[in-house]
Each structure stands twice: as C-alpha cells, then as structure tokens.
Chains A and B, each alone.
Chain A
C-alpha cells in the first residue's frame, strides 16, 4: 500500500500531503457506494414503490435499532449470539487443531477419522439440526453443539494441510539441534502450519455466526436470530430489517477482528509484508 502511494504522488509534491489526499479520496470512494445504497434504500422506501411492510424506511429501522440499544435488548441479544458463536468457534478451533494434529501423527487416528472428515466436510450439517434438537433440546448446549459440528471441519482440514506443507528442512534442522519430538511439534510444526490454520479459522468463524443465527431462528429464544424470528412472526418488518443490520454489523466486525488477529499473529511470516493482504 505504502509503495503505491509514494509512487503515485506527483514529483515535487510534498509526500505527506499527497498521501493524505490519497487517503481521503480513497476513504471517500470506499464509503461512497455504501452511502448511495443507504440513500437509495431510504428513498425507495419513502417513495411509495414498496409498502412499509416490504421495505421499511432506513430511518425507521435506525430508530428501532436505537430503541434496542437504549432498552438494552440489543446488548442481551448480541451478547448471547456472540457467546454461542464464539464458544462454538473456540471449541471447534481447539478441538479441530488437536484432531488435525492427531491425524497427521497417529496412523490409527488418521485411519478412523479420514473418511469421516472427507465425507462430513461437504455435507450440509444443518440438516442434522432436528436430530440435535431431539437429543439435546433447544437450549445453549444444542446450539453450541451444532456450531462446533459445523465449524470443526474447516479447522481440521486446514490443520492437516498446514502440517503436511511444513518444510522438511525445518524439521531436520530442529531435530539435528536436539529438539525433542514434543518441542518440534509445538515450536516448529505448529508455527509453520499457522498460516493455513488461520485460514481455516477464518472460514470457521463466519460459519459459527451463520449457524448461531440459524439455530436461534429455528429454536427461538433470545439472541439476534431469535429476536428477528419473533419480529417476523408478528409481521414486524422494521424489527426484521433492524435484525439484519445488527447481524451485518456484528459479522463485519468479527471478520475484521479475525483479519487483524491474523496479521498480528503472522507478523513474522512473509505474507505480512505482502501488499495484497494490507
């Protein structure tokens, strides 16, 4: 990013000013189309092309979100949804990495889990939701189980691919310098596989949020998905759109946070210097 800014600054122009102007222009271009979209929403809704039921005005939706915030409903629902999504994600992350490690080290684990993973990964696991409800009921346990069930597959697959891709030279030199197997695993193999594993996490995290919302929509109760479904049952479309905006914001922040975490954790890795990830 920095390289192009400097290169594009005209000669003799103070570099700082050019960079600033570039940033402002770029920032404006980035929000421009979003603003147009929001304005179009408000205009379409108030112009009478659609009924307020089909498309409530953005202003009404914002008022509703503000009301949710002041009454505290927003924080309860967001908190619950985030708690379920993150709890499921963390279990899937730890379990998935451990299972992936076991599968790349132990033949028995590989023999047993390989067909299960390769068949289970592409399956639409959400279809098992009624079975999970049958076994575990409709509360947090079944929601989080469903999230783990969905999110663990990308993590396992990414861990295996990552560990397979570790350069042999790294292993040889670590062993040569007297590292024990355990040290090799924790200090060489895992860090070297980290970029792949992070990619797996980056797939699993949005998936956790998707499944959290779906399970809440299906099982009811509190949470962003549940609140939206309640609004939908009462034909309260302002509530439905408010729910979508809230879920969109939460999802956006989650994905962004994960990208920042990746850059932090992989600051030593060549990819951190790759301009395309900036």
Chain B
C-alpha cells in the first residue's frame, strides 16, 4: 500500500499518456498510446530483435566500463600513493576531465570503425576519469592513523597499500564507479545513435526513421529502464560491499 501511494504519480502519468493519446488530445503519431507501445515491446521481444541488439549494447557498455574500472582505479590509487605519478598525471586528468567525451565519438570511429571496438574505446575513455578521481580522492584521504599503525606494526609498503589504502579508498571509488555507470549508458546510446549497425541506439534510430514510433518508444523506455535498474542494482551491491563500515 505504501509503495502504491509512493509510486502512484507514475501510474497517473501512464494513465494521462494513454488517455491523451486515445482521446486525440495529442497526435498518436507524436505519442502513440501506451498500450500500443507495450504490445510493440512484446512483439520485439518475441521476434528477438530487442534481445539481440540489447545483448550487443550491454556487451559494449560492460566491456568499456570494466576496462575503465580496472585501469582507472589502478591509476587513481597510484596517483595518491606515489607522488611522481601524481605530478605527471594530475595535469592531464585536469585537462581531460571537463572534455565532453561525446566529442570523441568521431575519433573513435576513425580509429576503430563502426563496430564494437569504437564503442568500447569511447566508453572506456569516458568512464575512466570519474573512477580515477574517485580512487584518488578516496586513497588520498585514507586515515593517517590507520596508515601509521599499519606501518608501526611492520607492514610493508605494498601490504599497506592493499590492506589499508585500498579499503579506505573504497567508498569514494565505488561512488566514482556509479558516475561511470551512468556515463557508460549515455555514451553507449549517443554513439550508437550517431554511428552503428547494431545495438539499442541503432534500433531507436532506424525505427524512428521508419516511422514505427510505438516500437521506437518501446526501445527508448527499455534503455531508460535498464539504466535505472543498473543503478539500483549497483547501489544494492555497494551497500553490501560497504557493510563493514557501518
């Protein structure tokens, strides 16, 4: 009941959508009725179109994100732990961080073509810096006392890095990864909308060009929902992972 009251505005919006389109308040071309969109969605699941394109897209996003998390995390912790690394990399990070990564779409296409490679590279490049900065801030602010006591108990430098610095960098690192997760969806969809032969973005573009708007809406909402669900699942996992801090 509580959940019903909480989410009732969404139901109201859905009803308003269906009614305004059915009653002809807005052109059904611009806004096909919700029920049509749902049936188009079911059709696309049945003929496998949505699933095959979805698998391609999710593979691209995941591969790019995984690379970004590993390399970005290592870089960020290295920057916080070894001063020379920081002096070398900090200016580069500072310059590239505010660059809208979508500007790199044409370049990744020039380098790797229209397929998976260019999307993975783009997502990797776009998602790396938030992870790096999260890891850097987290590792830098690891408590002096913990570092000191580890050192006084005779931990080696590497041991300290692994047992003290990495765990205390975790919350900020995980936060950076959350930003990266959201970015990966944005970059995925925009790069696929611009140049692709497969994937959600391509499907949205080609359905829109064909004028099959109910199907286009179905894909748009599928992507939007997947982005939302990925964020919620990620939050659940991080809450688990950080349970030791509470």
A194 → B minimal CB distance (Å): 22
**Are B88 and A33 in contact (CB-based, < 8 A)?**
yes
CB of B104 closer than 8 Å to a CB of A = yes
Asked if A189 is an interface residue, CB under 8 A from chain B, the answer is: no
**Given known contacts A34-B92, A127-B223, A134-B30, A122 and B231 CB-to-CB distance under 8 angstroms:** yes
For A124, the chain B residues whose CB sits under 8 A away are 182, 185-186, 188-189, 223-224, 227
**Binary interface encoding of chain A residues 264-276 relative to chain B, with 1 for a CB under 8 A from any of its CBs, else 0:** 0000000000000
Across the two chains, which residue of chain B brings its CB closest to A232? B106
- Contact B107–A244 (Cβ < 8 Å): yes
* A127 x B200 contact (CB < 8 A): yes
CB nearest to B104 among chain A residues: A244
Question: Which residues of chain A are near B87, meaning CB under 8 Å?
Answer: 29, 32-33
How many Cβ-Cβ contacts under 8 Å join chain A to chain B?
Answer: 146
Which residue from chain A places its CB closest to the CB of B195 in the assembled complex? A232
Give A4 Cβ to nearest chain B Cβ, in Å: 13
Contact yes or no, B224 A34, CB < 8 A: no
Whether B92 lies near A130 (C-beta < 8 A) is no
Q: Mark A221-257, 1 if CB is under 8 A from B, else 0.
A: 0001100110110000100110110011001101100
Residue of B nearest to A112 (CB): B9
Size band of the B side of the interface?
35 or more
B89–A217 contact, CB under 8 A?
A: no
CB-based contact B232/A210 at 8 Å: no
Check B136 for interface membership: any CB of A closer than 8 A. Answer: no
The reply to whether A225 and B103 form a contact with Cβ atoms under 8 Å apart is: yes
CB atoms of A248 and B96 under 8 A apart = yes
Judge if B109 is at the interface, Cβ distance under 8 Å: yes
Is the Cβ of A248 less than 8 Å from the Cβ of B220? no
* Those of B150-206 within 8 Å (CB) of chain A: 182, 185-186, 188-190, 193-194, 200-201, 204-205
Contact of B7 among A115, A214, A237 (CB under 8 A): A115
Residues of chain A within 8 A (CB-CB) of B185 are: 124
Contact A123 B224 (CB under 8 A): yes
Please name the residue on chain A nearest to B97 by beta carbon: A255
Whether A240 pairs with B220 at a CB distance below 8 angstroms is no
Q: Is the CB of B208 within 8 A of A244?
A: no
Is B110 interfacial (CB-CB < 8 Å)? yes
Q: Is B101 an interface residue (CB 8 A)?
A: yes
Assess the A33–B99 pair: CB atoms within 8 A. Answer: no
**B213 located at the interface, meaning its Cβ lies under 8 Å from any Cβ of chain A in the complex:** yes
A170 interface contact, C-beta 8 A: no
Q: Are B224 and A131 in contact (CB under 8 A)?
A: no
Q: Please give the residue numbers on chain A whose beta carbons come within 8 Å of chain B beta carbons, in ascending order.
A: 29-34, 37, 53-54, 111-116, 119, 122-131, 133-135, 206, 209-210, 212-214, 217-218, 224-225, 228-229, 231-232, 237, 240-241, 243-244, 247-248, 251-252, 254-255
Q: Which residues does B use to contact A, with CB under 8 Å? A: 5-10, 13, 30, 87-92, 95-107, 109-111, 182, 185-186, 188-190, 193-194, 200-201, 204-205, 208, 213, 216-217, 220, 223-225, 227-228, 230-232
Q: List 7 A-B contacts (CB under 8 A).
A: A29-B87, A127-B224, A130-B208, A131-B220, A210-B186, A214-B190, A247-B99
Given contacts A30-B90, A244-B107, could you give 9 more A-B pairs where the C-beta distance is less than 8 Å? A33-B91, A115-B10, A124-B182, A124-B188, A126-B186, A130-B216, A134-B208, A229-B194, A247-B99
